[in-house]
């Protein structure tokens, strides 16, 4: 790549940068970063029942859907051109080992079947983590007060396999257990699913911005916190090590989560790795903009667009966002 030439010999008044900001048509011509509907993955929460559409109080405009209702929402997403969704399950019962996570007739597995039957041309991604399914709310099995790593891997691999057998197009492990990408890749390959990609939550930070999601999925830990497996927000080099390991284990796409407080991580990862990069515009980021908009403190639509552009500008190739429907309507219809 040829480095940019700096205009060191063209001072004011010869060089006037405002010439290229004079009106919207000029600004459009020189715009460096553009949002596209192709950029978005829409997260959805699914539960058992029929005709269920429960609004999530801390996430305005987002809902917990029964399987039949989530299909309708996916149809709406597809009609707007959104290429992909990611599913999170809310089971009817929980236990210490999250057994509903790998039940072939579990809620996510049933939702995948229904969606692929009625909306076959949308990409269905499934979150692979047991926190929503365990009675203790942690992403790994618990022994005493310790989150155990290696015993959890078997559960995660079984969960991923049931998702793919149900028809999932991609799996996305979000647990942050060491080695989970490798065991998932191995079990998928062993069962003939060599063409199923893995999107790894490779740099997932222990963040305060997950609160509304935990409300939506009823997945708040019943004791302690997740700092022994999610990353320290102070660390950048560690993210590079985590991502390198996941790529070596077979990850096809890597993710940084959250997005907005970690734009520097997204940028650094983009510079250091030649793989597709996802960024998760998480629930707390979404809800802050919505809350400020409802208070009249900011223009919510402009805030939404500015936040998403910043994630794309930092280097994300795709963005998981609860704004997906809203921003798709904006981009498609100007609504």
Q: Of residues 47, 257, 290, 312, which has the active-site annotation? A: 257
Q: List the catalytic residue out of 204, 290, 295, 302.
A: 204
- Residue 94 among the catalytic residues: no
* CA count, 13 A, side-chain hemisphere, 25: 0
Residue 61 CA to residue 59 CA, distance in Å, equals 6
271 burial via Cβ count (<10 Å: 0-12, 13-18, 19+): exposed
Total Cβ atoms within 10 A of residue 48? 15
Query: DSSP states of 219-270 as a string?
Result: ---SSS-STTTSBPTT-SHHHHHHHHHHHHHT-SEEEEESSGGGHHHHHHHH
Q: Alpha-carbon distance 19 to 11, whole Å?
A: 14
257 assigned to active site: yes
Q: Which residues are catalytic?
A: 204, 257
């Amino acid at each position: 790549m040829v480095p940019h030439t700096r205009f060191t010999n063209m001072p004011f008044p010869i060089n006037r940068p405002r010439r290229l900001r004079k009106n919207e048509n000029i600004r459009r011509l020189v715009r460096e970063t553009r949002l596209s509907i192709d950029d978005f993955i829409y997260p959805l929460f699914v539960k058992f029942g029929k005709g269920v559409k429960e609004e999530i109080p801390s996430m305005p405009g987002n809902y917990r859907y029964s399987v039949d209702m989530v299909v309708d929402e996916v149809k709406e997403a597809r009609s707007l051109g959104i290429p992909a969704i990611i599913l999170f399950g809310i089971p009817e019962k929980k236990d210490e080992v999250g057994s509903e996570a790998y039940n072939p007739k579990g809620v996510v597995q049933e939702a995948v079947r229904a969606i692929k039957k009625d909306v076959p041309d949308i990409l269905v991604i499934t979150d692979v983590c047991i926190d929503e399914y365990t009675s203790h709310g942690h992403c790994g099995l618990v022994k005493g007060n310790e989150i155990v790593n290696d015993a959890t891997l078997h559960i995660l691999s079984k969960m991923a396999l049931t998702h793919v057998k149900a028809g999932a197009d991609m799996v996305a492990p979000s647990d942050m257990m060491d080695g989970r990408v490798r065991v998932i890749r191995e079990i998928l390959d062993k069962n003939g699913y060599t063409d199923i990609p893995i999107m790894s939550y490779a740099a997932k930070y222990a963040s305060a911005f997950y609160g509304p999601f935990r409300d939506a999925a009823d997945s708040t830990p019943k004791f302690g916190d997740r700092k022994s497996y999610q990353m320290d927000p102070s660390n950048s080099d560690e993210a590079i090590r985590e991502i390198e390991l996941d790529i070596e284990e077979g990850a096809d796409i890597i993710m940084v989560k959250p997005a907005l407080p970690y734009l520097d991580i997204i940028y650094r990862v983009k510079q250091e790795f030649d793989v597709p990069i996802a960024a998760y515009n998480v629930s707390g980021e979404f809800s802050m903009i919505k809350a400020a908009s409802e208070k009249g403190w900011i223009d919510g639509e402009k805030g939404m667009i500015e936040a998403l552009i910043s994630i794309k500008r930092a280097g994300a190739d795709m963005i998981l966002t609860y704004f997906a429907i809203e921003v798709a309507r904006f981009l498609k219809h100007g609504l």
